[in-house]
Chains A and B, each alone.
Chain A
Amino acid sequence: EAGVVQSPRYKIIEKKQPVAFWCNPISGHNTLYWYRQNLGQGPELLIRYENEEAVDDSQLPKDRFSAERLKGVDSTLKIQPAELGDSAVYLCASSKDRVYYEQYFGPGTRLTVT
């Protein structure tokens, strides 16, 4: 079974530039999560999707971050414009069910904003 796929693996941009991350979850997993992980910290949830619906985006900085999961499968997370403080690893995870099943993580995208 293929795992969670993310791209790109690394991204270096200048501040004020836009950037987008892509995630394809494990087949059959209805729930998709985007996390941000700063150095020395655990992952922090940005947004959770149930199929194509964003059911929890309370931690997403909506002034510059946006996300979509149009067909309930793959998802894109965008930052525009990026700030220096956005440098982090952005992780995507998926699970069969948000309550009863564990989450599986993708390899993440390391974003560096200069």
Chain B
Amino acid sequence: EDKVVQSPLSLVVHEGDTVTLNCSYEVTNFRSLLWYKQEKKAPTFLFMLTSSGIEKKSGRLSSILDKKELFSILNITATQTGDSAVYLCAVGNSYGGSQGNLIFGKGTKLSVKP
């Protein structure tokens, strides 16, 4: 059964800290791995990593994909209170009728204290 496991499930840090969020997966016919930030309701897209793009960076956020070891990390440097959210990892497969469907992990709840 395909699955995505995120760790830790929750994390509390202080402003200015650097955090690393982890995502491991077991998915048949891997196609892509996506990171989302969920603050209130709607998950907002952060990054998509594929075989042709295993490292992405945007401002203080960066992510890498290790297809050999089947995991990804999301790094946030110089954290701010506005980074407080649930970070979701999702993996898309490339097989048949479910091609492109996303399987989500449970998320990591990040709390950044002033």
Across the interface, B41 reaches (CB within 8 A) one of A40, A103, A104, A108, namely A108
The verdict on A105 contacting B100 (CB below 8 Å), with A40-B106, A99-B31 known, is no
Does A91 lie within 8 Å of B104, measured CB to CB? no
- A-side contacts of B92, CB under 8 Å: 99
The verdict on A110 contacting B41 (CB below 8 Å), with A42-B106, A99-B31 known, is yes
> A-side binding surface: helix, strand, loop or mixed?
loop
Does B43 lie within 8 Å of A56, measured CB to CB? no
* Interface hub of B4, B41, B45, B98 (most chain A Cβ within 10 A): B41
Does B48 sit within 8 A of A, measured CB to CB?
Answer: yes
Interface CB pairs A-B, < 8 A, 18: A40-B106, A42-B105, A42-B106, A42-B107, A43-B102, A45-B102, A56-B101, A58-B98, A97-B100, A98-B99, A98-B101, A99-B100, A102-B34, A102-B45, A102-B48, A105-B36, A105-B44, A108-B42
